[in-house]
A and B are shown apart, each in its own frame.
Chain A
């Protein structure tokens, strides 16, 4: 079974600075999908960014980018020019491509609580 680990329960960053959130995963599959979700105090789960394992290029969405290291099974999220609205719980998630056995489910890490200081 796949596992996802976020080793930083809490992180903080100054407004306008850059912060990196770590995520590692364990899998025997060669093709899969990785995601970062954001959960603000409203509790809504918001998809931030996704990465397909077969793509070598790191995904980027505006101020959010990832550092995908397939051999190391690492998938970190970098937030540039941090804003107060970035304060949230961030979850890393893994999805197997095998729909028959996994039902396209997501396996989540424990989460990292990000605080943005003004």
Chain B
């Protein structure tokens, strides 16, 4: 997965419980992103980071927080999960992609984490 690992890949939890998703990269890239994917909406940006301890909100940030204490890890936290946060979550880094389509202008995605909130 081009140096990006998401964990857990699948999680089922109950409403009101905290959940943390982890994104780990081995490429030392500055920019990291969290997206959620829902039918009919494509991928929507939750939060992104442009460096250690530097983060900003995306278009659907309510109910989510993030932290980046070191370059390689970007954590997404749902403080109190709700059923509306049932989704597939993707982490991305800026750069890499494939041997033919590489460079700083592309985003490379992790494999996704499926979260179900009951």
Please report A residues at the B interface, Cβ cutoff 8 Å. 4, 6, 9, 33, 35, 43-50, 52, 61, 91, 95, 103-111
Contact = CB atoms under 8 A, between A and B. Distances in A.
Contacts of A104: 31, 94, 105, 107
Specify the main secondary structure of chain A where it touches its partner: strand
Size category, B interface: 20 to 34
Interface of B: 1, 31, 33, 35, 40-45, 48, 50, 56, 58, 88, 90, 92, 94, 97-98, 100-101, 105-109, 111-112
Q: Which 8 A-B pairs have the closest CB atoms?
A: A45-B109, A108-B42, A108-B43, A47-B97, A110-B42, A103-B48, A43-B112, A47-B101
B101 A43 contact: no
Given A47-B106, A91-B42, A103-B31, A61 B100 contact: yes
Given A43-B88, A49-B101, A103 B107 contact: no
